[in-house]
Amino acid sequence: MLTILFSYGKPGAEGRIWEREIAQASTPSVRFVPFNHRAALENLTYQSALQLDADYRASSMKLMRLYRDLDAAISRSGAQVLFVTNDQPYHPDFLLKLRIYRAYQTTDDPGATYSRTIPYVHAFHHMFHCALPYSPEKTLREKLLECGARQVGFLPLGAFDFEMDPAQTDDSILSRPRDIDFIYVGNPFFAQKFEGFLKLTRAFGSRFKIFGFWKAKHSAYLSVHARQRIWVRPVSLEERVRLYQRAKIGFNIHWDAWGLGNQRLYHLPANGVMQICDSTEHLGAIFEKGREVVPAGSFDEMVELGRRYISHDEERRAIALEGFRRVQREYRIRAVLQRLADDLSRGMAATQFENT
């Protein structure tokens, strides 16, 4: 049996849910052992390799405790693979001492590649990426190989069962009432997204519902420029699912044209929401464009497509259903983790890796 120590970083209740669903993805041939590195670090995250290097050189108490806990977890589980995702708290000098196959999934947008991915490439046997493009000239796979990665694979973020209603079927997805015309759930983070929020808000007014961890200044800015009062509030994980289950069309806005691969990409269709998505160039590698997702090359086109599909209900429902079916087949967490296990097994065989 292949045993994978799955090191992830999620706080509080979300961390406990991840622990449960990761363990439940185990099969007779693969065992996933969840390890929440955020718990040992008391929710500390490293935003750059330089910050991690400084703490490692100073023998930070939290960091050293994490490394002792990881060593114990590897020994206790008998894991042959260490897989790291969400953030990366393990210094390369520590990783290189571990007699275990090491894999890292970078979940950052390409813009963070130099500060949070490339410095660690040499310490892992296998690199995974959830974004497809890197720049107009190359893919993220090409960039990782260029930087010395030995094995590179695409691993979608997918959707955990708690991020949808697992009991939904084709019939129930289509038959449930949906009273929200347009929705976006997420954080603003990047100034370039505001142009999209502004155009969508001006076009659809109160029919466009926005939720997320926005600062008061973000809501105020949008209110002033949209000429209407808008207050964006955060929602719980459970409420996010309930909102998506009520929505007809969801807009997906990435950090730029080369940031394709966020969680919304999977959350929307997992809940039967028809998705209008930017970052169109590589979108067809994840969903079939026009059949499972609607690509939009600009914010103006998003508005145009939103108007079209909200008034063509059968077309909208057909695309939403096909997106839902694709998630059920390929992008639910158990399917994603089986894909991970298969890729790791092939990587270990290709490099003739042995835990010696």
Q: Could you report the per-residue pLDDT of 317-344, keeping only the tens digit for each?
A: 999 999 999 999 999 999 999 999 999 9
Residue 74's nearest CA partner among 100, 102, 94 is 100
pLDDT value at residue 190: 62
Check whether residue 138 and residue 168 sit in a common domain.
Answer: no
The mean pLDDT value for 18-43 works out to 95
Check whether residue 87 and residue 171 sit in a common domain.
Answer: no
Tell me, what amino acid is at 61? Answer: M
| Angstrom distance (rounded) from CA 229 to CA 201 | 11
Q: How many domains are contained in the chain?
A: 2
| Angstrom distance (rounded) from CA 9 to CA 107 | 12
Q: How confident is the model at residue 227 (pLDDT cuts 50, 70, 90)?
A: confident
Check whether residue 145 and residue 217 sit in a common domain.
Answer: no
Per the domain annotation, does 356 fall within a domain?
Answer: no
pLDDT digits (tens, 9 = 90+) for 77-116: 999 999 999 999 999 999 999 999 999 999 987 888 888 9
What's the CATH code of the domain at 16? 3.40.50
Check whether residue 167 and residue 116 sit in a common domain.
Answer: no
Check whether residue 230 and residue 248 sit in a common domain.
Answer: yes
Check whether residue 123 and residue 214 sit in a common domain.
Answer: no
Check whether residue 79 and residue 151 sit in a common domain.
Answer: yes
Structural domain boundaries enclosing 279:
161-331
Q: How confident is the model at residue 226 (pLDDT cuts 50, 70, 90)?
A: confident
